[in-house]
Amino acid sequence: MFTLNQFPLPYASDALVPYISQETLDLHHGKHVATYINNLNNLIKDTKYESVSLNQIIQDSAKNNDQKIFNNSAQIFNHQFFFNGMCNGCDAKIPDEIIKKFGSAENFKKQFKDSATALFGSGYTWLVKDGEDIKIINMPNADTPIVHGLKPLLTLDVWEHAYYVDYRNRRADFVDAFLDNLVNWDFVAENLK
C-alpha cells in the first residue's frame, strides 16, 4: 500500500504563488497524485507487484505491458520528480554542464520551451542524461525516462491539469513561468552527479 504521505510536496501548497496557485497545487498533488496512488493500490492488490518498490513496479509493468499499472505507478514517480524540480526564489545557478550543452541559458530555455509547447496532447518535457549527452525530449502521457535507460534531470508536466486553472489554454505562458522562475537548478545539479 502506498500513501500520499510517502510522496509529499517539498514545500507548502502556496509556495509557488504567483506562478502556480495554491488551488492548482492542491488539486494537482492532493487530488491527481492521490488518485494515481489509490488506483495503483487497487490494481496491485493480491498481485506480484504488491510487495515490490515503486521503481520496480514501474520497470516490471513496462516490461510486462501491464499498461494500467504502468500508467499509475509512473505518474506517481513523474509527479514527485516534477514537484521536486521546482522552488520559488531559491536563486540557484544553472549548472555549467547545461550551459556547455546548449550554449547559453537563453538557448536552453528556448529549446525547452519549443519542445514543451510542441507536445501534442498530454505528457511531459524532460531534460535527461543519455550516456554522456544531455537532451530535451518529450514523452506522451505517463511515459518516463527511467524505463528507457535515460537519467532524468528535470521535468515539466504539461498535462492540462498542471496549468489550466492558472493559465487556461496559454501553455506557453506556463512554460515561461516555469523556466524563468521555478526551476530548481540545485535539484538538476544533484541529478547530474
Q: Summarize as ranges the residues that interact with Fe ion (CB under 5 A).
A: 157, 159, 162
Residue 85's region, left for phi above 0, alpha for psi from -120 to 50, else beta, is alpha
Between residues 44 and 162, which has the closer beta carbon with respect to Fe ion? 162
Q: Is 124 helix (H, G, I), strand (E, B) or coil?
A: strand
Nearest-angstrom CA–CA distance, 59 and 138: 19
Shortest distance in whole angstroms from residue 171 CB to Fe ion: 13
Q: Are 95 and 189 in contact (CB under 8 A)?
A: yes
Q: Which residue has the cell 515490490?
A: 52
Shortest distance in whole angstroms from residue 28 CB to Fe ion: 6
Between residues 102 and 171, which has the closer beta carbon with respect to Fe ion? 171
Q: Which residue is nearest to Fe ion (CB)?
A: 157
Shortest distance in whole angstroms from residue 82 CB to Fe ion: 7
Q: Which residue has the cell 509493468?
A: 61
Between residues 61 and 155, which has the closer beta carbon with respect to Fe ion? 155
Between residues 111 and 122, which has the closer beta carbon with respect to Fe ion? 122
Contacts of 111 (CB under 8 A, 6+ apart): 102, 136
Shortest distance in whole angstroms from residue 38 CB to Fe ion: 15
Between residues 58 and 162, which has the closer beta carbon with respect to Fe ion? 162
Q: Work out whether the CA dihedral 65, 149, 109, 15 comes out positive or negative.
A: positive
Between residues 143 and 157, which has the closer beta carbon with respect to Fe ion? 157
Angstrom distances, CA of residue 165 to CA of 25, 69, 126, 170: 10, 28, 23, 11
Nearest-angstrom CA–CA distance, 158 and 139: 10
**Burial class of residue 86 in the structure, from the number of CB atoms within 10 Å of its CB (0-12 exposed, 13-18 middle, 19+ buried):** buried
Shortest distance in whole angstroms from residue 75 CB to Fe ion: 7
